[in-house]
Structure 1
Amino acid sequence: MTDQRIAIVTGANRGLGRSTALHLAADGTDVIITYRSHAAEAEAVAKEIGALGRTAVALPLDAADLASFDAFAARVLAALRENWGRDTFDVLVNNAGASGGTTFLETTVEDFDALVDVHVRGVYFLTQKLVPLMADGGRIVNLSSGLTRFTTPGMSAYAMMKGAVEVFTRYLAKELGPRGIAVNTVAPGPVATDFEGGRLRDDEQVRGALGSMAALGRIGEPDDIGAAIATLLRPGTGWITGQRVEASGGLFL
């Protein structure tokens, strides 16, 4: 039996999840990473974590497929026992998600339901399945978005889902507080990832326009968010719970 700190980061084969997993590993945390597709990317992240001297396991997970959550929890338990001799883990980062940018009048029921499945139902019920495996005194970070504070045309449905995540975070903090589990939300501003086809990563005009509206003069990079999440999860910050932390470089202040 080991008391090594163990985190689960969903959607960690690329983007914000990858950066979060690597920053946690750099802080001395072992990581179970999940991926929906692109298994080779996930294995590459696991190798990077290994190069940092930490243990990593990559498990497949479709965060929108609620019927698969029992089997996923069983795989997590098996991985914990095999790699750490434990039945519990310490940190959950609900990062997995999908973009959705259509105007209100153009959003279909199918578009809306797809976002609900991954960002609301998925986060709620995956957390429900995993919390029984979380050690008392554990930590949860749910990913939201700056779009719950400021508005961008075409993002109403996506922002609604993230608003639900923020409400869920506060309720979860209250219900899990007796176990010493702290629950918070990190809300990134515009970040240069492959979301929305990589527009914020590749379009210099868009990057410059949005960056000019931020106090720090640029849009975010994945490591800005991964570092912020890892910092919020470090020992000594466990008294912070039920909070929304926006990491947007001071956008639209």
Structure 2
Amino acid sequence: MRVAIVTGASSGIGRSAAIEIAKRGTGVILTYGSNPQGGLETAATIEKEGGTAVALPLDVGETGTFAAFRETVAGVLRDTWRRDTFDYLVNNAGFAQTSLIEDTTEEAFDRLMRVLLKGPYFLTQRLLPLMADGGAIVNTSSNSAATAGLEPGYSAYASMKGGLDVLTRYMAKEFSTRGIRVNAVSPGSTRTRIGDDAFTRFPEVVPALAAKTALGRVGEPDDIGAMIATLVSDESRWVTAQNIEVSGGYNL
């Protein structure tokens, strides 16, 4: 059985990606941060549908924990799947924090950097020795880093996602010698818990966002999760170094 690692899978896009990947017959090691119950619920959903999943804690903003996390992953691979390697990595964990440039603090900027760019960079580096040749990586970016997605208040967040887009291409280049494909997905406005449940707290923004979207609604986590599952699968075996916007045509 092939095995995937999906970070930030306690809710939203990460949860959907983990479930969609599991539906295709792949075992899943999923991680959670501040929402352990959500991580356990994701694993339980996968198990209920006949899959195999293990939920592990991980703070992607704390690179000092990555060595211990790799050892835990190695143990889980041996104990659960009788394997020494895994096949797919989805760097999805993250958060959003908005403020205008004039109001952004160094502390807020640095926290975004640690979680959204430094975390995926060094987590991938740390896990790479455990990754099987011919595997695949998907990084969750954002259309806020593209011209069509520019909105005031997202300068720091989008800068980190823009850096992740560049990192995706370099990963694809460097890892190609091992047959590892690397792509990114860039969601548009998606109904998740990001931004402290912004969609729940400010439902009045939904119609305006839907009106700016060609397909007439905001995105749902399953819209993005299905694309991530497709990108790690053999269906996308000839796709690498791409950033695919999954936004329903935002600002089209």
With structure 1 as the length reference, what TM-score do the two structures score? 0.97
Letter matched to residue 137 of structure 2: I
1:1-253 correspondence runs (5 A)? 4-149=1-146, 150-201=149-200, 203-253=202-252
* Counterpart-to-counterpart distance in 1, 2:200 and 2:246: 17
Shift of 1:236: 2.5
CA contact (8 A) 1:199 1:206 kept: no
* Counterpart-to-counterpart distance in 1, 2:200 and 2:13: 13
* Counterpart-to-counterpart distance in 1, 2:202 and 2:23: 31
What do residues 224-247 of structure 1 show as CA deviations (whole Å, max 9, x unaligned)?
A: 111111122221312100000000
Letter matched to residue 157 of structure 2: Y
Letter matched to residue 81 of structure 2: W
What do residues 98-130 of structure 1 show as CA deviations (whole Å, max 9, x unaligned)?
A: 111011000000000000101111110000001
Q: Say what the alpha-carbon RMSD is for the aligned residues.
A: 1.0
* Counterpart-to-counterpart distance in 2, 1:157 and 1:5: 36
CA contact (8 A) 1:148 1:162 kept: yes
* Counterpart-to-counterpart distance in 2, 1:121 and 1:234: 26
Shift of 1:53: 1.1
CA contact (8 A) 1:33 1:56 kept: yes
* Counterpart-to-counterpart distance in 2, 1:196 and 1:67: 25
Shift of 1:38: 2.2
In structure 2, list runs of 5 or more residues that go unmatched: none
Taking every aligned residue pair, what percent have the same amino acid on both sides? Answer: 51
SS of corresponding position for 1:137:
strand
SS of corresponding position for 1:49:
helix
What do residues 76-113 of structure 1 show as CA deviations (whole Å, max 9, x unaligned)?
A: 00000000111100000000011110110000000000
Q: Structure 1 segments of 4 or more deviating over 6 A?
A: none
What do residues 186-208 of structure 1 show as CA deviations (whole Å, max 9, x unaligned)?
A: 00000011112222345342111
SS of corresponding position for 1:31:
strand
SS of corresponding position for 2:234:
coil
* Counterpart-to-counterpart distance in 2, 1:217 and 1:39: 34
* Counterpart-to-counterpart distance in 2, 1:80 and 1:138: 16
Letter matched to residue 140 of structure 1: I
Shift of 1:179: 0.4
Letter matched to residue 29 of structure 2: I
Shift of 1:250: 0.4
Count of residue pairs brought into register by the alignment: 250
In structure 1, list runs of 5 or more residues that go unmatched: none
With structure 2 as the length reference, what TM-score do the two structures score? 0.97
Moved more, 159-168 or 24-33: 24-33
